[in-house]
Homo-oligomer: A and B are copies of this chain.
């Protein structure tokens, strides 16, 4: 099975999950005549939903980049890889629900656990996906042991933050929310994996 259609399904699920996130931002309902004060209150009221939209969009962005980086190195796909993809996408597709749940109860333990648990599970499947690809020889020769290790570290970093954010968030919700918001920032920072990726890109020219 070739990797292109799996990537197409994944891009589709990511694009839809990322865009569906916006449906949980409620359009304010205001009694006429609309006063400036009522509108301001309404805007403040939807801020948690807007913030959770943006954070979840960017977290899905980091997962997409991670998935994308793995596929650059895939030479072949076997059924186990195909199915770890589908389980990974199951978690991705669940993020809009977890986001809407957290946006409605931002200071409760349960939605925090559901949100963090969904991301953690997604990270686990992405980690298993890479592990299997390397072990089963499905990757290209560009994947030196060092690159394999860098990719593993990269995914682990996200999972560690999800875990800490979830545990913290169950007891101190606001700390958890701040930590989740930091995930995209972490992935935006230059990383040790970039030179390896850029070296490959340069070779492709």
Q: A: which residues have CB within 8 A of B? A: 1-2, 5-9, 11-25, 27-30, 34, 39-40, 43, 53-54, 57-58, 61, 64-65, 68-69, 71-72, 75-79, 82-83, 86, 89-90, 93-94, 96-97, 100-101, 104-105, 108, 110, 188, 190, 194, 197-198, 201, 204-205
Contact = CB atoms under 8 A, between A and B. Distances in A.
26 contacts: A1-B197, A1-B201, A5-B7, A6-B68, A7-B8, A8-B11, A12-B14, A12-B16, A16-B20, A18-B89, A20-B22, A20-B23, A22-B96, A24-B27, A25-B97, A28-B101, A28-B104, A29-B104, A39-B108, A54-B90, A58-B86, A61-B86, A61-B90, A77-B201, A79-B194, A83-B188
B18 A15 contact: no
B9 A64 contact: yes
Contacts of A190: 79
B39 A198 contact: no
B19 A11 contact: no
A129 to B, nearest CB: 15
Contacts of A77: 201
A147 B32 CA distance: 50
Question: What copy number does this chain have within its complex?
Answer: 4
A14 B86 CA distance: 12
Q: A interface, by DSSP: helix, strand, loop or mixed?
A: helix
A82 B53 contact: no
Q: Closest 6 CB pairs between A and B?
A: A12-B15, A16-B19, A61-B86, A8-B11, A19-B93, A27-B100
A88 to B, nearest CB: 11
A57 B14 contact: no
A130 to B, nearest CB: 16
Contact of A90 (B57, B90, B201): B57
B61 A27 contact: no
Contacts of A64: 9, 86
A37 to B, nearest CB: 11
